[in-house]
Structure 1
Amino acid sequence: MIGNNNLNFPKIETDRLILKEIKVKDAASILNIFSSEEVMKYYGQFPMKSIEEAKNLITIFDENFENNKGIRWGILLKEENRIIGTCGYHNWNRKHSRAEIGYELSMDSWGKGYIKEALGAIIGYGYEVMNLNRIEAVVYPENKASIKSLINQGFKKEGVLEEYAFFRNVYQDLIMFSLLKKNWVKKQ
């Protein structure tokens, strides 16, 4: 169990990042990231328009953690002490030892290797702490950067899920990727 009832929210540190609990005081940073059309076009929702929407999302992240349904970290860039994105797990199925991974970054942080660094850390957490056997990711076929990030972590493409989700008022095809624990190569 990872929820707040049994364990404090885990903080993970990498070379350039701190993965930390997202608090209501971080709502302005969350709004900044989630209000971008470019960031949100592959997130499956329309861009946020208010600080209240950001606070509601933080509440959802908190509830998922407290109820052992998932965990979402804020990605804090150490050198600037600011949140540049989020990453974590949702749709956690403990019976089958699997969860879906997700992440996004502010546009000014794209192409700098931050997702690679964050994913390496949370994949390890998923296998070593959450006892996952399978980590899944569903990605828009057009989201080439995300696909590249997953493949670089060892994820394998399983296939296209036709009209799998109803995002932004349209049925959307998504590609299913997975990484099995037995195929995971721990990054040093």
Structure 2
Amino acid sequence: MLNFNFTPFPVIETEHFILRRITDDDVNEVFELRSNPETMKYIPRPLVKTTEDALEHIGMIEEKIVKNEGINWGITLKGNPEILGIIGFYRLQPENYRAEIGYMLLPEFHGKGIITEAVKRLISYGFDDLKLHSIEAVIDPENFASEKVLQKCNFVKEAHLKEAEFYDGKFLDKVIYSLLIS
């Protein structure tokens, strides 16, 4: 079984971006991401309503890192520390050598290849550094932009689960994509 250790926190660089630790100083950006109905459209979680809610979310991210149960990064442009989005391994399954990747990006940055570049870098981090065997992504079947990112990154559709989650008074479908180490 794998043992994860995110101390020291791994700052990751891509061609255009720095993936860095999210801190309380990022509360406004996290609030903007998590309170935006467009950003949260395909994420079945309640919208953040206050900066206190955003701080609680940052605290939850930090707790998972400290406990080595998950890791998230703020996506920033090189030379600009402001967060454009969040990406990470939300659910680690060390016993299965598997992790679930997830990401979100402010709407004004959609369609610019940012998430694709970040996902490709996290794939190599997951396989090379964390020693994962597989990475999965669980998306809403209507989230065509996310599906396109996953396909560009060579993920394969494994399943379409009908009405697999109950949220906000309705049953939601989920689609699972995965990538095996090559």
Aligned length: 180
User: Structure 1-normalised TM-score?
Assistant: 0.91
Secondary structure of the 1:37 match is: coil
- CA drift of 1:90 comes to 1.8
The answer to whether residue 174 in structure 2 is matched with residue 174 in structure 1 is yes
- For 1:86 and 1:2, the matched residues in 2 are separated by 20
Q: CA deviation at 1:166?
A: 2.3
Matches within 5 A, 1:36-47: 36-47=36-47
Matched, 1:84 2:64: no
Aligned pairs for 1:89-104 (under 5 A) are 89-104=89-104
Task: Work out the CA distance in 2 between the residues paired with 1:161 and 1:142.
Answer: 13
How far, CA to CA, are the matches of 2:126 and 2:169 in structure 1? 32
Give the Å deviation of 1:31. 0.4
**Distance across 1 between alignment mates of 2:108 and 2:167:** 25
Gaps of 5+ in 1: 183-188
- 2:152 aligned residue: 152
Q: Where do residues 27-176 of structure 1 align in structure 2 (5 Å cutoff)?
A: 27-176=27-176
Q: Which amino acid aligns with 1:138?
A: V
Return closer, same or farther for 1:3/1:52 CA change in 2, 3 Å cut-off. Answer: farther
SS at match of 1:40: coil
Which residue type is aligned with residue 60 of structure 2? I
Deviations 1:74-127 (A, max 9, x none): 001225431000000022111110010000000011011100111011111111
Contact 2:26 2:82 in 1 (8 A): no
Unaligned runs of 5+ in 2: none
Q: 1:58 to 1:3 in 2, by over 3 A?
A: farther
Q: Is the 8 A contact 1:86 1:103 kept in 2?
A: yes
C-alpha distance in structure 2 between counterparts of 1:123 and 1:16, whole Å: 16
Structural RMSD (CA): 1.3
1:150 to 1:133, Cα distance in 2 relative to 1, 3 A: same
Q: Which amino acid aligns with 1:94?
A: P
Which runs of at least 4 in structure 1 moved beyond 4 Å after TM superposition?
none
